[in-house]
Amino acid sequence: MMRIQPTRWIVLCAALYAGGLTAPYSVAMPVQDTAPAPTNQAAATRGSSGDAQPLTERQALVRDRVMRLEDRMFQLHEALRKNEPEKAQKLLGALGASRSMLVRQKIDEIISSLKAGQYADARDQQEAVAGDLQTLLKYLLEEPDDSAARKHEMERLHGAREFLERVIKDQQRELDQAQAAANASARNAQLQVAQRALQELAERQTELKNQTQAGAVPPETAAARQRRLAEDTAKQAANLHDLPREASSPATQAAQAAQNAADAMKQAGERLDQADAAGATQAQEQAETALKEAIEQIDQQLRLDGQTPSPREQAAEQEKTARETEQLGGEMKSADKNPAKADGPSHAGGPAEGDKSDRKDSQPSQDGASPPKSPSDSPDSAQDEAEQDLGDNKPLPGQQEVEKAVPLQREAADELRKNKPKDAAEKQAEALKKLKAARELLNDTLEQLRKEQQEMLLAALETRFAAMLAKQLECLKATGALHELGRTNWKRTDQLALADLASGQQWISQEADQALTILKEEGTTVAFPQIVSQIRDDSRAAGDLLAAADVAEITQGLQRGIEEALRELLEAVKKKQEELQSAPDESEGGQSQDQNPPLLPGSAELKLLRSCQVRINSATSRLNTLRTGNDDPSKLAEELKRLAERQKQVSEMAKQMHESLTRTQ
């Protein structure tokens, strides 16, 4: 078996269908003019247009391409069976569908009709085969529709996380209350003792200040008494500092104020030793103020401690949180069913039924294509497995951690009922740790699903853009050939080919419109959807020009611009895919848990914006050149209007991107 790079498997198949199989129908379709149909074999093989290559041979080339494509799909299926089973199943389904549609047999019938000169029948048969090929192309382009299941799973995860956030918030509040109650119980009596001691120290300080100012005691005696007051106050400050307290609590403020009072008293003693009466008085007054503040802060702390919910009330709140946690654990464990999944593409003998084809067609063919080794395998089975893998039939991540928190919460409630807030706080802290671990697991899973969703979207866009580019290259080449041939030399087949080219451009426009819908719903990029919108509009305009038999420079300029834009989009998408693959465990920096990372980074969007401006510049220069020629002024005016509107769009995109980049900084 030949070595195949599986990373671009579907792009290859889509390109073969879009660019290789349907193309001959647009240039080799036999048509009966008003002249009598040819009746001899030579006329049948020559065709009504007198093409150099007989129509029967060109039709045989299409059959050979189908055969080679079936070979390639089987080889890719074998290469992907182990590492990418879903893609392998998709290829198997397409292969089975191609055989059940009897595409090769139908092409053989077309060749027979051409040889017999039955051009009307051949035309009808060709249209039927083209429809079959388009059905297969659509199937190859579409990803397995597990979007509903994935969306459902992400909604479950988001809902569970929101519920969990509320539980964590409640548990944190109850832990704070229990710790506050434990601290209050431990310090209440000590605070009251400290408050009485500070009040006594304040009275002694006031008395000493008054005696010092009146000269009732000698300076050296006053200094000694002041130093003793400073020592006693420092001891009370140390006692307050050792009490259980929060950093910003009144108890902490009281300890600091008492220490300030001790420092001021020490300074007053030094001033008395230096016979600095004024300085001593000022320091003594500062000490009095600090002592008053310490006493007030202790009083405030005692009032706050008295406002703490009673142990019975705290136990009731904790029990309520335990019930909510238990409810959350049950919801995370339950396996509610998915919305009904979307079936695969329905077609009479289409891809969804490819595995049900006649077993005769599964035998080794004359062209050497090997049949699938497991013809009973169904593409739907891979989709079923994918939906099961999304976790709808198993508990959500973190469910066990949530369940483990419940008994800890109930034990905490029991301790609170026993008026043991310290023991309760220990249990609550353990429960909170379990809940936060569950949140971390939920966040990790959500991040992984977001990444997988982004990878799937990028892969789908890459496939679609590759098929659009293949069709655009075909249309551009054929348009140039018709322009070079000259309108006066066109034959009926050329006119039919022109109609097919117009249809091809409209197909590109429709595909771009579908991609635009996806990007708007995704909603994380600015320039990306705008560029796709421009491709849609330009392809529609090119199709209208082709329908009007205009294959001149304006039409080809539009086609070249579409080609360039598609190449740039493909490059940006592939680069993002490589970045995701090279850093599988890293999330986008700076993104919150509820904010999806952008589908393309800002640098890639800026590059797309710059390329868009370059295309406008080139189109403007081309239009200026055409003005000096003999081109239709009305068409030039219409093209000028389009370019003006496009320039306005670029300006608006630049503004939106600036605002977007500013918000993320």
- 44-78 pLDDT, tens per residue? 334 444 443 477 888 888 888 888 888 888 888 88
CA–CA dist 77, 372 (Å, integer) = 8
Determine the pLDDT at residue 546.
94
Q: What is the pLDDT of residue 145?
A: 56
Residue 363, C-beta contacts closer than 8 angstroms, at least 6 positions apart: 371
426-478 residue pLDDT tens? 999 999 999 999 999 999 999 888 888 888 889 889 999 999 999 999 999 99
Confidence tier at 309 by pLDDT (50, 70, 90): confident
Band of residue 585 on the pLDDT scale cut at 50, 70, 90: low
Closest CA to 257 of 231, 281, 301, 292: 292
Percent of the chain with pLDDT over 70: 79
Tokens linked to 296: 């007030």
User: Which two structure tokens, joined as six digits, stand for 185?
Assistant: 């119980």
In the predicted model, what is the mean pLDDT of residues 494-512? Answer: 93
- What mean pLDDT is predicted for residues 299-320? 90
Q: Which of the residue ranges 10-14, 493-497, 572-576, 660-664 would you say has the lowest mean pLDDT? A: 10-14
- Per-position DSSP letters for 298-359, written without gaps between them: HHHHHHHHHHSPPHHHHHHHHHHHHHHHHHHHHHHH--PPPPPPPPPPP-TT-GGGGGGS-G
Mean of the per-residue pLDDT values for the chain?
A: 80
Highest mean pLDDT among 87-101, 215-229, 403-417: 403-417
Instruction: Find the range with the poorest average confidence among 103-107, 460-464, 545-549, 557-561.
Output: 103-107
Q: What is the predicted pLDDT for the residue at 142?
A: 65
Question: For residues 481 and 639, which has the higher predicted lDDT (pLDDT)?
Answer: 481
**What pLDDT does residue 49 have?**
40
Q: Phi, psi at residue 363, to the nearest 5°?
A: -75, 160
Answer whether 259's CB lies under 8 Å from 275's CB: no
Q: What is the pLDDT of residue 525?
A: 86
**Complete domains list, the chain, with CATH:** 1-141+346-365+379-389 (no CATH), 188-307 (1.20.120), 450-586+593-665 (1.20.58)
Q: Position of tokens 């003006």?
A: 644
398, two tokens: 């973190």
Distance CA(523)–CA(124), nearest Å, equals 43
Cβ(369)–Cβ(131) under 8 Å?
Answer: no
Stretch 320-345: mean pLDDT, rounded?
A: 72
The single residue listed with the structure tokens 């740790």 is 433
**How confident is residue 85, by pLDDT bands cut at 50, 70 and 90?**
confident
Q: Is the pLDDT of residue 520 over 70?
A: yes
Angle at 321 between CA 317 and CA 322, to 5 degrees: 115
pLDDT in tens, 234-274: 999 999 998 877 888 899 999 999 999 999 999 999 999 98
Most confident of 361-370, 433-442, 605-614: 433-442
Cβ atoms 198, 290 nearer than 8 A: no
Lowest mean pLDDT among 32-41, 122-131, 405-414, 416-425: 32-41
**pLDDT tens-digit map of 1-53:** 334 444 444 555 554 444 444 444 443 343 333 333 333 333 333 444 444 34
pLDDT cut 90: percent of the chain above it = 40
102-154 per-position pLDDT tens digit: 888 888 888 888 888 888 888 888 888 888 887 877 777 665 556 677 778 88
Helical spans, DSSP H, in 103-146: 103-115, 119-141
Three-class HEC string of 420-437:
CHHHHHHHHHHHHHHHHH
Q: Catalogue the long-range contacts made by 354-357 (C-beta closer than 8 Å, 24 or more residues apart).
A: 354/92, 354/93, 354/94, 354/95, 354/96, 354/97, 354/98, 354/99, 354/100, 354/379, 355/92, 355/93, 355/96, 355/379, 356/96, 356/100, 357/96, 357/97, 357/99, 357/100
